[in-house]
Amino acid sequence: MTDQRTKTDVPADAPAPVSLTKTSWWKSDGAEPVRRNLGLIGVLIVLVIIGAVTRPELYGDASWVTNNVWTILQQASAIGVVTVGMTFVIIGGGIDLSVGAIIAVAGVWSTTLATQSYGTAGMIFTAIVVGVVVGLVNGVLISYGRLVPFIATLAMMVAARGLAAQISGKQTQVSANSTINDIASTKILGVPMLVIMLAVVVAGGWVLLNRTTFGRRTVAVGGNPEAARLAGINIRLHTVLLYALSGLCCGIAAIMLTSQATSAQAAMANLYELDAIAAAIIGGTLLSGGRGTIIGALFGVLVFSTITNLFAINNLSTEVQNMVKGAIIVAAVLVQQFRYRSLSQLFSRT
């Protein structure tokens, strides 16, 4: 009887293994980031085409186009560095709302007259140490103080802005250090220094996430904290390190921004937390943790930067630009919800 049944069922089941082998890698879970990144590259290409169609006289000039590419990348550099740190935190199951405020504290602290008197190294050291220390405080509050990341970093966002205002005496602090100021205008072999810094941070972030135990642990901690704990990972320590990493990225971004603006002030890097979170999300990072890519986050930042550029060259208002940004975030999350399903699966559900 049982033999009979299986025999009759064979024809019905037969196509299944065939379709599995056909769609093996491309539709597999592992190819999801690649599919998404190709999607984002597609979006970038569409944006460039729109730019070329709307302003042909600009896009006809090769040197302008090269210059424009560097401009877009430079505009993305500081926020890109922050997004790398943010991506780690989100993959690790957290969120960091204090990044903009950390940049402000680090930027302001490194440009006080006292710090500036220690020279370039003193300014860079201060920015990095302040960023890491504030990140550590975030991490300790969350890990050992058992505060929800949203609340802890929200509190830090408010407090750090306050600290920045206190340190700066509510004034814009101009950087008199020409080495720092020159970072933003220096080019090495035709590539702007800021773009090189972004590339180094992104490459470092990629290696750290994909090729080290630290990266694997981050995914494990964010994906399933209990399983990670049972597997022997020190979740608390790891969480502290993730926020410190985010703080480190903020410290680096503070130097980049200070160099670009040749000054720092308490209100600098306003709302960077939202831009960084949005970029990470449209780059395919799950807000609930355990999944995400650095390259995707970078593309997320580039999409925003390219939209800003597109609106600028067409002299369109920033209001419309913000609406478009919002729509892109929603679209990205909608796509994310269907990430495991093929289109046919999607339609067969209805």
Residues that bind another protein (CB under 8 A): 58, 61, 64, 67-68, 71, 74-75, 109, 112-115, 118, 126, 129-130, 133, 136-137, 140, 144, 165, 167-174, 181, 184-185, 257, 260-270, 308-309, 312-315, 317-319
246 class by beta-carbon count within 10 Å (0-12 exposed, 13-18 middle, 19+ buried): buried
Report, in Å, the least distance between residue 106 CB and another protein.
Answer: 11
Largest Cα–Cα separation, the chain: 90
Report, in Å, the least distance between residue 2 CB and another protein.
Answer: 58
Report CA dihedral (49, 50, 56, 57) to the nearest 10 degrees: -110
DSSP string, 6-61: HHHHHHHHTHHHHHHHHTTTTTSGGGHHHHHHHHHHHHHHHHHHHHHHH-HHHHT-
Report, in Å, the least distance between residue 279 CB and another protein.
Answer: 16
Select 99 or 266, whichever has its Cβ closest to another protein: 266
Select 97 or 269, whichever has its Cβ closest to another protein: 269
Select 114 or 334, whichever has its Cβ closest to another protein: 114
Report, in Å, the least distance between residue 154 CB and another protein.
Answer: 14
Pairing outcome for strands 263-264 and 173-174: antiparallel
Rg (CA), the chain: 23
Select 65 or 335, whichever has its Cβ closest to another protein: 65
CB-facing half-sphere around the CA of 146: CA atoms within 13 A: 0
Select 23 or 54, whichever has its Cβ closest to another protein: 54
Report, in Å, the least distance between residue 265 CB and another protein.
Answer: 6
